[in-house]
Structure 1
Amino acid sequence: MFLFRNVLKCSCLFVTVCFMTRDCQGIDLDFQEEFLKREYSLSKPYRGLGFSSSSQWDLMGTAMVTTDHVRLTPDLQSRQGAVWSRIPLVLRDWELKVHFKIHGLAKKNLNGDGMAIWLTKDRMQDGSVFGSKNYFVGLGIFVDTYPNSEKLFDRTFPYISVTLGNGTLSYNHNQDGRPSELGGCAAMARNSIYDNFLLIKYTKNRLTVMVDVDGKQEWRICADITGLRLPLGYYLGASAATGELSDNHDLISIKLYQLTVERTAAEKDNEEEVTLPRVDDMKQFEVIVEEEGMTKIQFFFMLLFAIVGLIVMVVAGFFTYRCWTEKKRKHFY
């Protein structure tokens, strides 16, 4: 009986401590097992990162390694940097914990542009979407630190958003990505005195994004998307970009855990191998997109072509009429 009570006390203590700490909050009520997958993880001391054949990650652009972090961009204008996994992700159920920091001059109010966490078909391709390519195929989690739209005042920045790409959708910077956004939340993740964390969990076709940026060591749900189907074999990555505005974008660690999840017979029947990422019920994510107006350059060339075309028609009409009158005059004589 004494041994049983001690075991029970230890078990209760473990459960209590577990749910009070950040690292155990990934455990569901069914006590899912999680295993750190080092081949998909990136953490200190970053030995050989980007330079050694034994490294599982590549650097791109302005990304550089220090003893404390991987700096994707410095606090300078027009910089892009990224880090990409060399091994495609083939796990069906996983949890990704990202430790990051975005900071710049304390008195500077204009800052940007932000950083992104990726799970995409293509890797190591720079572009206009937070340092990576537009029209991407896969999943993007964006930490946007600057509001581009002056007409939309209903959200606070920095803003974390979830976007799904199938290769045909363009990320709309002017609307801060709203037309292709699946979910998101505001998070004070810039110049924070606390450590900033993202937790991205994917299991049973459900993606949950949680944040911890206020020092409470508690996960807050940012987005919860059901019916999301992601293909296997995509690559993990992180990128950042600055433009006329700038910030330091630091990646401290990426840790991926494999989840052992039991499935019912119905859930197994619902499993489906997909070749492109998609969402089962797209109606819940429908966004009305206003068509962009014509730019000044487009209007100028359209007007120019219209004037040139009108002149050509007048000249052609004049010569046609002249030839007709000439033939008529000769026929008369």
Structure 2
Amino acid sequence: MPCKLYFIFTFLLLSVSLGVSDDDHEMEEFLKREFSLSKPYQGMPSNSFNVPQWEKSGVTVSFNYVSPCHLKDWEMQVHFKVHGQGKKNLNGDGLAIWYTKERMQKGPVFGNKDNFTGLGVFVDTYPNEEKHIEAQKKRYTPRTQRIFPYVLAMVGNGTISYDHERDGRPTELGGCNAMVRNLQHDTFLFIRYVRRRLTVMIDIDGQHEWRDCLDIPGVRLPLGYYFGASAITGDLSDNHDIISLKLYQLTVLRSKKEEEEEEQDVITIPSVDNMELLRLGQSEEGMSGLAIFFTVLFSMLGCIFLIVIGIVVYSQWSESRRKRFY
């Protein structure tokens, strides 16, 4: 079934300058119109989906930016909507927001190519891992079982593949549950990259309040990559509406020492400083119910073995002590 990704036009906000802080560092934010998608799309004919500075591809309406972005610190606010007639487990697969070295290429990772280079933030609406294990008639009771839809982030260096069968668990930086389907109110995704720190938040409850999703330090993204958005449905169906994409340039005050360090440490390949620690934590948190069962079982058998040995030793000691009285 063809992918459905729609861009719905809304009013364009004027550029603003707001004072915000990040780890006690003052910064300002400015809306970058040329990197944003929002009405009235200057120069766009009313009967056309051609948007200046963006390009579309695939079987339905989708765009990705055709000019590289050289902002050191930035913030992307995404107004989106996921809806459809499919009931539980009959909808999928999700949408993605990208900041990648390559311009959009049709592929299996939420509509984009696999082994991408850069950042992907995914709104995953279908639990492939549960269905895969269920199909093999294996028990699936992980300690950290996800509730879908689920938002997660991944950084790729061109050689790392996205694992569909495990819903991206091996390469996930972090994530959160996000019940975003068929809501009557607006839903938003917030992606901020400041001082090599990636923060993702969501506003899906209709309360106009951001909720933390993930916050990862040590994320290294090069300059000059492309922003984009994509979606895919696979064999299922759903509507993925991108209502607006607003990119803000963040002006962060840095010390002279920090500026010198960043100039010397030029990022050429996307990476995450603490990825090994993240993977270790995920492997521990993701221990299956079967593994937990065997861990408990062997622990109990070990205790029983020690008790039996203790009883035997005590019996021999008691028998030896008894004989000394005769």
Is this a same-fold pair by TM over 0.5? yes
TM-score (normalised: structure 2): 0.71
Cα distance in 2 for partners of 1:56, 1:94 equals 19
The amino acid across from 2:241 in the alignment is: D
In structure 1, the partner of 2:52 is 55
Cα distance in 2 for partners of 1:25, 1:260 equals 10
Q: 1:242 aligned to 233, 240, 249, which one?
A: 233
- TM alignment of 1:1-333, pairs within 5 A: 27-28=20-21, 30-46=25-41, 48=44, 55-64=52-61, 82-105=62-85, 107=87, 109-150=89-130, 151=140, 154-271=145-262, 272-287=265-280, 288=283
Cα distance in 2 for partners of 1:201, 1:230 equals 12
Secondary structure, counterpart of 1:198 in structure 2: strand
1:83 Cα deviation after fit = 1.2
Cα distance in 2 for partners of 1:255, 1:123 equals 19
1:48 Cα deviation after fit = 2.6
Cα distance in 2 for partners of 1:224, 1:176 equals 20
1:31 Cα deviation after fit = 4.5
Cα distance in 1 for partners of 2:204, 2:70 equals 30
1:270 Cα deviation after fit = 3.5
Q: Contact between 1:25 and 1:219, CA under 8 Å: does it hold in 2?
A: no
Cα distance in 2 for partners of 1:63, 1:38 equals 24
Structure 1: stretches of 5+ with no match in the other structure? 1-22, 65-81, 291-333
C-alpha spacing 1:114/1:24, structure 2 compared with 1 (3 Å): farther
The amino acid across from 1:128 in the alignment is: P
1:267 Cα deviation after fit = 2.4
TM-score (normalised: structure 1): 0.70
Which piece of structure 1 moves more, 172-181 or 269-278? 269-278
Which piece of structure 1 moves more, 131-140 or 35-44? 35-44
Cα distance in 1 for partners of 2:247, 2:276 equals 31
1:269 Cα deviation after fit = 3.8
Cα distance in 2 for partners of 1:109, 1:173 equals 16
The amino acid across from 2:268 in the alignment is: T
The amino acid across from 1:37 in the alignment is: K
Q: Contact between 1:35 and 1:257, CA under 8 Å: does it hold in 2?
A: yes
Cα distance in 2 for partners of 1:24, 1:63 equals 35
Report the identity percentage. 57
Who wins on radius of gyration, i.e. which is larger? 1
Cα distance in 2 for partners of 1:106, 1:241 equals 15
Q: Deviations over 1:235-286 (max 9, x none)?
A: 0000000111110011011000111100123422432211110112222222
1:202 Cα deviation after fit = 0.7
Cα distance in 1 for partners of 2:177, 2:211 equals 11
Q: Contact between 2:80 and 2:188, CA under 8 Å: does it hold in 1?
A: yes
Q: Deviations over 1:126-159 (max 9, x none)?
A: 1000000000000000000000012365111000
Secondary structure, counterpart of 1:270 in structure 2: helix
Secondary structure, counterpart of 1:149 in structure 2: helix
Q: Contact between 1:93 and 1:204, CA under 8 Å: does it hold in 2?
A: yes
1:109 Cα deviation after fit = 4.5
C-alpha spacing 1:148/1:108, structure 2 compared with 1 (3 Å): closer
Structure 2: stretches of 5+ with no match in the other structure? 1-15, 131-139, 287-326
The amino acid across from 1:103 in the alignment is: H
Aligned residues: 250
Secondary structure, counterpart of 1:173 in structure 2: coil
Higher relative contact order, chain-length normalized (CA < 8 Å, sep 6+): 2
